[in-house]
């Protein structure tokens, strides 16, 4: 099952408010490249009849059925990569770029 962290959900809410898309669901899409890496796309959208719908951290999430197998173990987070540089990231064991977190 796809999950979103609290930090990611908070940033999605901020983006929706700034973009005037409050009340719309977050659409996620994934595509696996030949090398095993996964490309992720997201945006606000209305549900279609064939969408798979779920909720994580209070955010309604839409996916086309083809994306579900690539995203069902993924976690979306919003992190500071460098000082003042924040980004959404996906932690996904199905992505060839993924490496499990290490314990410090």
Report strand pairing: 25-32 vs 59-63. parallel
Query: Is residue 104 domain-resident?
Result: no
Helix (H) or strand (E) holding 8: helix 6-19
pLDDT band for 104, please (50, 70, 90 cuts): low
Determine the structural domain holding residue 34 and report its residue range: 3-91
Query: Is residue 100 domain-resident?
Result: no
Each residue of 24-62: pLDDT tens digit?
Answer: 999 999 999 999 899 999 999 999 999 999 999 999 999
Whether the predicted pLDDT of 100 surpasses 70: no
Query: Is residue 102 domain-resident?
Result: no
Output the domain CATH number for residue 15: 2.60.300.12
Each residue of 58-96: pLDDT tens digit?
Answer: 999 999 999 999 999 999 999 998 898 999 999 999 888
d(CA 90, CA 69): 15
pTM: 0.86
How many domains is the chain partitioned into structurally? 1
């Amino acid at each position: 099952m796809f999950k979103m962290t609290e930090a990611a959900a908070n940033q999605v809410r901020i983006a929706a408010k700034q973009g005037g898309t409050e009340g719309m669901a977050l659409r996620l899409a994934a595509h696996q490249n030949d090398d095993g890496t996964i490309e992720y796309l997201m945006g606000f959208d209305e549900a279609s009849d064939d969408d798979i719908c779920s909720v994580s951290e209070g955010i309604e999430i839409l996916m086309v059925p083809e994306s579900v197998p690539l995203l069902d173990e993924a976690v979306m987070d919003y992190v500071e990569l460098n000082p003042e540089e924040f980004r959404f990231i996906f932690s996904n064991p199905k992505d060839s770029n993924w490496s499990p977190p290490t314990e410090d």
